Amino acid sequence: MNDNPQLALFPDIVIIPGILAMLGLIMALLARRKHRNPWLWGTSGFFLFPIAIWVLAFMGYLCPMCKQALTKKQWKERICPDCGDLRTQDVRRAC
Ligand SMILES: [Zn+2]
């Protein structure tokens, strides 16, 4: 029998922040895929995951070079209006 309230509380104290941290990590990875700030989105995911995931889902990709928003078509073709063809650019630095 567990009559100690501190012990009974212990699993929630560990599990809930653990789940939130996982959700924050997922948000950070999704944000990075779209070339958005992983720290900002990871923090949003930690505190407001249900809202943050919806907002990010509707946000488009950013150009990895100039951070300008790209349309779906531009991202598919990897063409930025400012930087030109992204496949010929060295974008590894920026990612
Ligand atoms: Zn660009």
Instruction: pLDDT tens for the chain, 95 residues: list them.
Output: 556 666 666 788 889 999 999 999 999 999 999 999 999 999 999 999 999 999 999 999 999 999 999 999 999 999 999 999 999 876 555 44
68 C-alpha to ligand 1 centroid (Å) = 6
**Could you tell me the residue range of the domain that residue 85 belongs to?**
60-95
75 C-alpha to ligand 1 centroid (Å) = 10
Based on the fold, state whether residues 38 and 18 are members of the same structural domain.
Answer: yes
Based on the fold, state whether residues 36 and 52 are members of the same structural domain.
Answer: yes
How many domains does the chain divide into? Answer: 2
**Max CA distance (Å), the chain:** 68
Based on the fold, state whether residues 10 and 40 are members of the same structural domain.
Answer: yes
Based on the fold, state whether residues 9 and 37 are members of the same structural domain.
Answer: yes
43 C-alpha to ligand 1 centroid (Å) = 26
Q: Tell the burial category of 91 from Cβ atoms under 10 Å away from its Cβ (0-12, 13-18, 19+).
A: middle
What does the pLDDT read at residue 6? 64
